[in-house]
Amino acid sequence: MRRPPVYIFLMAIMLTSCSRPDKMQVFKSPRDSVFYMVETTYGHGATSSDATDVYAHLVVDGNSEKMLVLHGLYLEVSGVVWNSSSDVTLCVARGMTSTFRSEVTLSVGDTSVTIRNRLVEQGCS
């Protein structure tokens, strides 16, 4: 049986390797322990796309949990609007969404927070 060429393994490593985001934005909530972070990684090279992730974070006494709320390619998140401490509107100006969670529940120790999410395309007015 013939082994696959080395470049196949190199390509797999490049596609699955972890990288740090090029841009990060924090959107604080009315509740001190909760915030959303928008992380954007710009594609470097012909085969990579720009990717954006939005995470919900809960931090209590130095312990934390984060959960993916939104992921997509070439997404431009124009804002995160806190309607209340448990209701968020994510404003997207353009891009392709592949993952969206309309509700997330974060738990750290005895603290649990459920947040409802709305996605508004073409930005927020």
% of the chain surpassing 90 pLDDT: 66
pTM of the model: 0.80
Q: Does residue 6 fall inside a structural domain? A: no
- Cβ pair 72, 93 in contact under 8 A: no
Q: Does residue 81 fall inside a structural domain? A: yes
Domain that holds residue 93: 20-121
Q: Does residue 9 fall inside a structural domain? A: no
Q: Does residue 70 fall inside a structural domain? A: yes
Whether 120 shows a pLDDT value over 90: the answer reads: yes
Domains identified in the chain, total number: 1
Q: Does residue 5 fall inside a structural domain? A: no
Paired with 91 in beta bridges are: 79, 120
Q: Does residue 32 fall inside a structural domain? A: yes
Question: In angstroms, how far is CA 111 from the centroid of its own chain?
Answer: 22
Q: Does residue 65 fall inside a structural domain? A: yes
Q: Does residue 7 fall inside a structural domain? A: no
> What is residue 122's predicted lDDT score, i.e. its pLDDT?
78
Q: Which of 61, 68, 67, 48 is nearest to 108 (CA)?
A: 61
CA distance 108 to 106: 7
Q: What are the tens digits of pLDDT across the range 3-31?
A: 554 444 444 444 445 568 888 999 999 99
For residue 26, give the DSSP letter.
E
> What is residue 22's predicted lDDT score, i.e. its pLDDT?
84
The SS3 assignment for 109 reads: coil
Read off the pLDDT of each residue in 76-102 and give the average, rounded to a whole number. 94
